[in-house]
Structure 1
Amino acid sequence: MRGRADGLLLAFSWLTVLPVRGPENVDRHAAGRAIARAPIVGLALGGTCAALVWVSITTGLSPLLSGLIGVAAAALLTRGMHLDGLADTADGLGCYGPPERAREVMKSGSTGPFGVAALALVLGIQAASVGQLAQLHMWWAIVFVSVIGRVSVVLACRRGIDAAAPTGFGALVAGTQSTALVAVWTGVATAMSVYIRPDRSWHGPLVVVVVLALAVILTRHCVRRFGGLSGDVLGAGIETTTALAAIGILVGS
C-alpha cells in the first residue's frame, strides 16, 4: 500500500506543479509505479481544465478564448515541460544526421523552426477543440482527452522499449510497464470513452484505438530516430495524443 501511495505522490510531483513530495530515493521500480499512475494525474488535470473552461464560458467569454484559457492552465500546471518536450522532439525529428546529432539538437536549450511550428499547431488544435467541446457541453470529453494523453505514456514505457541514454528520465522509465498494465489502462480508457457520445457508443472506443495506435507509431519512430526513449518523447506523446483525441471526438459532431 505504501508503494502505491509513493507512486501516486511521485507521479504528481513529476507531472504537475503541485507541492507534493514523492519518495526521496527514486529508482526504476519507483519510477515505473509513478508512470503507471500517470493517467490519474491526467484525470485531475482534465477535471481542472474542464472546470476553468466552464467558468470562462459562464462568465461570457467565447468558446475559443475559454479553450485557450483551459489549455494555458494545463500548461502552467505541468510546468510547460510537455510542451518543451514537444518542441525538442519536433526539432530533433527535423534535423539531419545520426541519432547522436538529433539528441544534441534536442538538448541545445533553444527552440528551432520545427519546434515553434509544432507548438503553434498542437496548442491551436487543443484550444480550438476544447472550446468546441465546451460549446457542445461535452465536459467529460475534456477530462477524457487529458487522461488518454497520459495513457499514451504508459504505452510508450512498455517493456521492450530502451532508453536513449544511460541516464536521465528516459533511463528511469523506459521498459518499466508490463503488457498487463498497458492492457488495463487501454481498457479503462475505452470504458471511459463510451460515455462521451452516448448516442454513438462506438465512437469513443474507436477514437481510443486509433489514437493510441498512432501514439505507438509515433513513439516507435522517435525511438528509432533518437536511439531510444527520452522524456522529451513522452512529453510530445502527451500533447499530440491529447490533440488527436480531441479531433477524433469532434468528428461527426
Structure 2
Amino acid sequence: MRDAWRLALGTFTALRIGPPRRVDGRALGGAMLLAPLTALPAALVWAGLGLLAGVSVLPAAVAAALALVVTALISRALHLDGLADLADGLTSGHDSARSLEVMRRGDTGPAGAAALVLTLLLHAACLAALFSTGVGSSLAVTALVASRLACALCARHGIPAARPEGLGQGVAGTVSRRALAVLVGVAGVIAVGAGALVGHATAQSPYAVAGAHAVVVSVAVGCAVVVRRHAVRRLGGVTGDVIGAGIEISLGAALVAASVVVSRLA
C-alpha cells in the first residue's frame, strides 16, 4: 500500500514524495485506485475559493480561474498535456500507428492547443457558475474528485495498452473489475452522503442535493468509459495520454452536469 501511495502521489501531484521500493502490477493498480484521493489538495483549494466567492470576497470568475491555476500547478499540468497530445493524435489521421507517433512527440499542434483552450474555457465558465451558489461549490469538488476515477477505469482488467512502453503499458489491466466496482460504489456513496449534508447545511432538500451529487459522479464515470472505448477503438488500447485526457474530459462533462443540476436546484 505504501508503494501504491507513493506512485499515486508522485505521478498525479507535484508533492515531494519518496520513491517506491518496488514497482509492480499490484503497486501500479493500487496507484490507479488511489488516484481520486490525490485530488484532495486541489479539492480543498476549490472548496476554499468557493467559500470566498460565496461571501463575495472574490468574484466567482476570479475564483474559477484561480482554481484551475492551482490545479494545474498541483498536477504539473500532466492531464492537460495528455489532453493536448490525444487531440493531436486523433486528428492526425485514422492510422493508429501514426496517431501514436504524433502523441509520442510531445509538441502541441493546432488541435491540441484548441482542445486545451476550449476545455479550460468550459471548466472556467462552469466553475464561475457553480462558485456563485452555495451547493455549487460542493458539486464542483465532487466533479474534480470523480474525474480521477478515469485512472482506474482505463486500467481495468481486459483493457490493453496501445504500445509496449510508457505509463499505459505499466498500468493497463492492473485493476480488477471487483476493485473498480468497489471504488466507483464507494465514491458514489461518499458523494451522496456529502450531498445530503450540504443540503441540510444550505436548507435545501437533502435528497435533491444528494441526487445531484450522484448525477455528477455518474456523468464523470460514463464520460471516462466513452473516452476509454474510443481510445481502444482508434489506438488499440490506452496510454498515459489517454488517461490524462480522460480525466480532463470527465471533469468537463461532470462540471457541465453540475451546472445544469444546480440551476434546477436554485
TM-score norm. by structure 1 comes to 0.91
Secondary structure, aligned partner of 1:38: helix
Q: Equivalents in 2 of 1:161, 1:93: separation in Å?
A: 19
Q: Equivalents in 2 of 1:118, 1:225: separation in Å?
A: 18
Deviates more, 1:131-140 or 1:112-121: 131-140
Letter in structure 1 aligned against 2:72? A
**Residues 133, 250 of structure 1: 8 Å contact kept:** yes
Unaligned ranges ≥5, structure 1: none
205, 215, 219: which is aligned to 1:206?
215
Partner of 1:91: 88
**What is the deviation of 1:26?**
1.6
**Residues 3, 22 of structure 2: 8 Å contact kept:** no
Q: Equivalents in 1 of 2:27, 2:183: separation in Å?
A: 18
**What is the deviation of 1:56?**
6.4
Q: Equivalents in 2 of 1:243, 1:210: separation in Å?
A: 10
**Residues 161, 228 of structure 1: 8 Å contact kept:** yes
Q: Equivalents in 1 of 2:195, 2:260: separation in Å?
A: 12
1:58–1:22 distance in 2 versus 1, CA, 3 Å: farther
- What's the Cα RMSD here? 1.9
148, 151, 174: which is aligned to 2:149?
151
Q: Equivalents in 1 of 2:250, 2:128: separation in Å?
A: 17
1:239 equivalent in alignment to 2:239: no
Letter in structure 2 aligned against 1:226? L
Q: Equivalents in 1 of 2:2, 2:49: separation in Å?
A: 28
Q: Equivalents in 2 of 1:213, 1:56: separation in Å?
A: 30
Identity of aligned residues (%): 38
Partner of 2:162: 164
Secondary structure, aligned partner of 1:165: coil
Partner of 2:131: 134
**What is the deviation of 1:53?**
4.7
**Residues 143, 220 of structure 2: 8 Å contact kept:** no
Q: Equivalents in 2 of 1:6, 1:52: separation in Å?
A: 32
**What is the deviation of 1:57?**
6.5
Secondary structure, aligned partner of 1:60: coil
CA displacement, residues 13-34 of structure 1 (integer Å, 9 cap, x when unaligned): 1110001123143222221111
1:210–1:58 distance in 2 versus 1, CA, 3 Å: closer
Unaligned ranges ≥5, structure 2: 200-204
Deviates more, 1:84-93 or 1:183-192: 183-192
Partner of 2:29: 32
Partner of 2:189: 191
**Residues 152, 241 of structure 1: 8 Å contact kept:** yes
Q: Equivalents in 2 of 1:170, 1:104: separation in Å?
A: 15
Letter in structure 2 aligned against 1:217? V
Secondary structure, aligned partner of 1:217: helix
Partner of 1:61: 58
1:53–1:217 distance in 2 versus 1, CA, 3 Å: same
Q: Equivalents in 2 of 1:175, 1:99: separation in Å?
A: 20
Partner of 2:179: 181
Report how many residues are paired: 250
Q: Equivalents in 2 of 1:71, 1:196: separation in Å?
A: 23
CA displacement, residues 149-181 of structure 1 (integer Å, 9 cap, x when unaligned): 111211111100011111111111011111111
